[in-house]
Amino acid sequence: MTEPKIQLTDDEWREKLSAAEFAVLRRAGTERPFTGEYTDTKTPGVYECRACGAELFRSTEKFESHCGWPSFFDPKDSEAVILRRDDILGMTRVEVLCANCHSHLGHVFEGEGYPTPTDQRYCINSVSLRLVPSDPT
């Protein structure tokens, strides 16, 4: 894996992020299901990394999976995120990281049968994202 473009110390990240943001973005935590601010959001716009502001997902790729977290079927582009094997909980999953700052975003799952073009579900913590609404004009 390449080095992140943005590299801060833990103390610098703690100054920049709230305690909840730090726990998820920098320590690979997970927010409780159905509690995130973007779980059911349908607002058109762009979802950025809350840690560094990199564009990650667009509302046009968001779908309702009813899993408790915002779900997307594709990132902004193939270089917006990094995928990394995650065996921490005794099962194999694929972790999703911001390619710009290597902050933890969530996990991606495949083959679950959702009617999406990619058959993938990027299950992303709301606290890892910031929605920038589209200009209504």
Closest CA to 77 of 95, 101, 54: 54
Structure tokens at 107: 């996990």
**CA-CA distance, 57 to 41, in Å (whole number)?**
13
**CA-CA distance, 115 to 127, in Å (whole number)?**
26
Element (H, E) at 11: helix 10-16
Closest CA to 69 of 114, 44, 38: 38
State the catalytic residue, choosing from 49, 52, 98, 123: 123
- Contact partners, residue 47, CB within 8 Å, separation at least 6: 38, 55, 56, 57, 58, 59, 62, 70, 72, 124, 129, 130, 131, 132
Whether residue 52 lies in the annotated active site: no
Residues marked active site are found at 123
